[in-house]
Amino acid sequence: MLKILSVSPSYYPANEFGGPVTALKSLNKYLNLTKSKVNVLTTAHEIPSLKNKYKKTKVDNVVVEYFPVIKFFNFLSPTGWHFSPKLFTSLLRKSKNTDVIYCRSLWNFPTIACYIASLLNNKPLIIAATGKLTPWAFSHKSLKKNIAWNLLFKNIVKHSYVHYVSEQEKHISQKNINIFNNGIIIPTGTEKINLENRQIDNALRFNKKNTVTKKIFFLGRIHEIKGIDLLIEIFNDLVNKHKDTSLILSGPYEGSHHIELKKKLKTLGLSYIEASPDKLFKYDISSRVVFTGMVSGKIKNWLFENTDLYAQLSHSEGFSNSIIEALAFSKPILISEGCNFNNHELKNFGKIHSEIANSAEFINDLFSDDSKLQKYSHESFRYVYNKYNWQTIAKKAVSEFKNIKLSEKKK
């Protein structure tokens, strides 16, 4: 039996940290189903119900331990440093009896803790890159991160195996950091391919005036890395051709970027509203941009189900859960090169953004031809069903982890 110690600064139900938390939860669930033994060590950070206290429980039949953090050090990272001496102590003890340490972070304390445990107990360490090693991510590092990379984190990455989610991410990241021969590729899957995981909130509705309004949907942090400014420019071009269109942006505000976006909307002469999904019935959203705030569960599913196209123009992503969830809801997609999809894979259900006018024309063409939109929708689901099944991905992960275990024994 393969024993995996999975370490993450955040874990379910801390879903505000987005796709990486969701993906890790699912990966652990399906790894456990392969007869591997997965134990999760994480922190209680940003989980109000835990009140920053220790708790041991099961999530998807996987044992999860939440440890309190010392918040004084949170200034070291915009999402928290997650400094937890108790997590560190437990990690040192438990890693003695594991086969691999899998760390779902880079720029915070749990990564350092995993590195030390790996060295002291002679256990292989796998670090998930999650888009943090790409050229764009490095070009936007703070001074603190640049110093930390050169002093410590570069050595951690050299010491570790690095989990990339696609060949594209692996190629551009390894070239960027000049560290090769330690990458493994394990894609991200989605449970949304199963109908029971696509249940929606039937109490929600749009305004009667928007019954036939075409709706573009984005889900993620409202942050500069997501390329929302480009999406707004495309929308501005599009409404000149297809006025009965709306752009819905769902996700938490991070920093002050939402203020910059609203200034851009004003400059372009575009109207916007801030309304949670349960209030959308009050507003005519045609030709408008909508900020809904954070969404999850059946509310998120309702937005996927009741919009017409998913768009995400991230400058850098390890991989986006939201994109494959959109495909599971049979939505065509418009995405950037930074989202790490092969262009040839998209030809039947989406497009890689290149120029503003070209992308606007692509959307207008779909929105003006219902039969073409339906064809793209059908191909979207077929593609995700065949390629992003968690059972298949978990088997690949186990194979990779076992190879790493054997390689380490030979050293």
- In tens, the pLDDT along 351-410 reads 999 999 999 999 999 999 999 999 999 999 999 998 899 999 999 999 999 999 888 765
Give the model's confidence band at 184: pLDDT under 50 very low, under 70 low, under 90 confident, else very high.
Answer: very high
Query: Residue 215 — φ and ψ, nearest 5°?
Result: -125, 130
DSSP 314: -
Residue range 28-42, pLDDT digits in tens: 999 999 989 999 999
**For the chain, what is the mean pLDDT?**
92
Q: pLDDT at position 131, please? A: 84
Q: pLDDT at position 257, please? A: 95
Would you say residue 318 has pLDDT above 80? no
Q: Please give the CATH architecture assigned to the domain spanning 3-189+389-410.
A: 3-Layer(aba) Sandwich (3.40)
Would you say residue 142 has pLDDT above 80? no
Would you say residue 289 has pLDDT above 80? yes
Give the model's confidence band at 345: pLDDT under 50 very low, under 70 low, under 90 confident, else very high.
Answer: confident
Min mean pLDDT across 283-287, 325-329, 384-388 is at: 384-388
Q: pLDDT at position 139, please? A: 83
Q: pLDDT at position 179, please? A: 94
Q: How many whole angstroms separate alpha carbon 193 and alpha carbon 335?
A: 20
Assigned token pair, 373:
């939109």
Residue range 223-258, pLDDT digits in tens: 999 999 999 999 999 999 899 999 999 999 988 999
Q: Candidates 3.40.50.720, 1.10.3720.10, 3.90.78.10, 3.40.50.2000; correct CATH number of 193-387? A: 3.40.50.2000
Contact at 8 Å (CB) between 104 and 24?
yes
Contact at 8 Å (CB) between 43 and 66?
yes
Q: What proportion of the chain, given as a percentage, has pLDDT over 70?
A: 95
- By three-state DSSP, how is residue 239 classified? coil
Bigger pLDDT: 245 or 48? 245
Min mean pLDDT across 9-23, 319-333, 365-379 is at: 9-23
Assigned token pair, 145:
């991160």
Contact at 8 Å (CB) between 316 and 134?
yes
Would you say residue 61 has pLDDT above 90? yes
Q: pLDDT at position 253, please? A: 93
The count of other CB atoms within 10 Å of the CB of residue 285 is 23
User: What average pLDDT does this structure show over 191-208?
Assistant: 94
Distances (CA, A) of 102 to 198, 275, 371: 29, 39, 45
Would you say residue 347 has pLDDT above 70? yes
| Domain ranges for the chain | 3-189+389-410, 193-387
Residue range 157-172, pLDDT digits in tens: 999 999 998 888 899 9
Beta pairing, strands 55-59 & 62-67: antiparallel
Min mean pLDDT across 1-5, 15-19, 97-101, 366-370 is at: 15-19
Rg (CA), the chain: 22
User: What average pLDDT does this structure show over 134-154?
Assistant: 86
Highest mean pLDDT pick, 192-196, 222-226, 303-307: 303-307
Would you say residue 17 has pLDDT above 60? no
Q: pLDDT at position 343, please? A: 66
Q: At what angle do helices 390-410 and 19-33 cross, to 10 degrees?
A: 80
Bigger pLDDT: 200 or 387? 200
Which of 215, 219, 225 lies closest to 250 in space, CA to CA? 219
Assigned token pair, 326:
């959109």
Distances (CA, A) of 271 to 215, 232, 250: 15, 11, 16
Min mean pLDDT across 17-21, 189-193, 209-213 is at: 17-21
Q: pLDDT at position 87, please? A: 97
User: What average pLDDT does this structure show over 13-23?
Assistant: 74
Q: How many whole angstroms separate alpha carbon 36 and alpha carbon 4?
A: 7
Amino acid at 354: S
Q: pLDDT at position 18, please? A: 64
Q: pLDDT at position 231, please? A: 98
